[in-house]
């Protein structure tokens, strides 16, 4: 019985295989905290948590990109609020829609709500921690990327190029009683898609993109945003002093 020989890879073919492997690795979306510490994404998600929680609210996000993007600050604040809630480490208090809560209580105070069903006044909980942020970089088209390799002495284009998106947020966690800044950092998210060669999908179970961000659905910017928000939650969880986890 003859044994089949595996054909040896030629020099150009080896270069092509190595390039494809490297290109796929380079397109992985990434998010980083540029200062401070805290657990990694994997560490935060791998540890079940049912202990004391901290009382927190997302105060506001401002757009400092000078690009005039519509409501991206509000959208990111909403997404961070939802992500903090799902982390199960915080009692998250609503502040973006607080006006609606107050209006409902005012209706009760005015006698317009059926007795026994009204929302009582004076029961809104106060936050001990406030999170505020500023969007300092928001580049849906941070730059195009091309893919190619020399094979057999001829240039070959792979995938027809791609897109790269980048976002950076300055975060501050503030003690609501003293107004002291407890921690501050910059969180960045970057994602790259190379068309036709490497594709990434966002799985189910995630909240919708926030206000003003829906136009970036299924684009590299969506990936960058979601990674940035997740890193922000991990940073806040890791940097909140232990004494605030008491509820």
pLDDT for position 201: 40
pLDDT for position 151: 44
DSSP label of 77: H
> Strands, DSSP E only, in the chain?
30-33, 54-63, 90-92, 129-145, 148-151, 154-157, 162-175, 181-194
Residue 170 in contact with residue 138, Cβ under 8 Å? no
Helix axis angle, 220-239 to 72-86, nearest 10°: 50
Which domains are delineated in the chain?
11-18+30-242 (3.40.50)
Pairwise pLDDT comparison (16 vs 233), residue with the higher score? 233
Q: Could you read off the pLDDT of 113-129 as tens digits, one per residue?
A: 888 888 888 888 889 99
Residue 159 in contact with residue 149, Cβ under 8 Å? no
Q: Which of 4-18, 57-71, 84-98 has the highest mean pLDDT?
A: 84-98
Pairwise pLDDT comparison (45 vs 174), residue with the higher score? 174
pLDDT for position 73: 86
**Please, which residues bridge with residue 167 across strands?**
138, 189
Confidence of residue 8 (pLDDT cuts 50, 70, 90): low
What residues contact 131, with CB distance under 8 A and at least 6 apart? 56, 57, 58, 59, 80, 84, 171, 172, 173, 174, 236
Please tell me the pTM assigned to this model. Answer: 0.69
What is the residue whose two structure tokens read 């006006």? 99
In this structure, the strands spanning 30-33 and 54-63 are unpaired
pLDDT of 153 strictly over 50? no
């Amino acid at each position: 019985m003859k044994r089949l020989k595996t054909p040896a890879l030629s020099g150009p073919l080896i270069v092509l295989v190595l390039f494809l492997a490297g290109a796929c690795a380079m397109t992985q979306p990434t998010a980083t905290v540029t200062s401070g510490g805290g657990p990694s994404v994997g560490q935060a998600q791998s540890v079940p948590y049912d202990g004391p929680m901290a009382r927190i609210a997302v105060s506001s996000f401002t757009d400092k990109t000078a690009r005039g993007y519509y409501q991206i600050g509000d959208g990111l604040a909403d997404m961070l609020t939802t992500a903090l809630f799902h982390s199960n480490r915080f009692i998250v208090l609503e502040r973006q829609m607080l006006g609606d809560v107050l209006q409902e209580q005012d209706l009760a105070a005015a006698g317009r709500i059926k007795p026994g069903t009204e929302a009582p006044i004076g029961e809104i909980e106060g936050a001990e921690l406030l999170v505020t942020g500023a969007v300092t970089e928001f580049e849906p088209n941070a730059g195009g990327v091309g893919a190619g390799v020399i094979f057999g002495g001829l240039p070959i284009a792979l995938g027809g190029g791609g897109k790269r998106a980048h976002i950076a947020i300055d975060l501050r966690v503030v003690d609501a009683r003293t107004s002291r800044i407890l921690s501050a950092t910059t969180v960045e998210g970057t994602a790259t898609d190379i068309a036709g060669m490497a594709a990434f999908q966002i799985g189910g179970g995630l909240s919708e993109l926030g206000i003003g961000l829906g136009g970036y659905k299924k684009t590299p910017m969506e990936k960058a945003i979601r990674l940035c928000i997740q890193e922000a939650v991990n940073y806040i969880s890791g940097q909140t002093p232990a004494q605030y986890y008491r509820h």
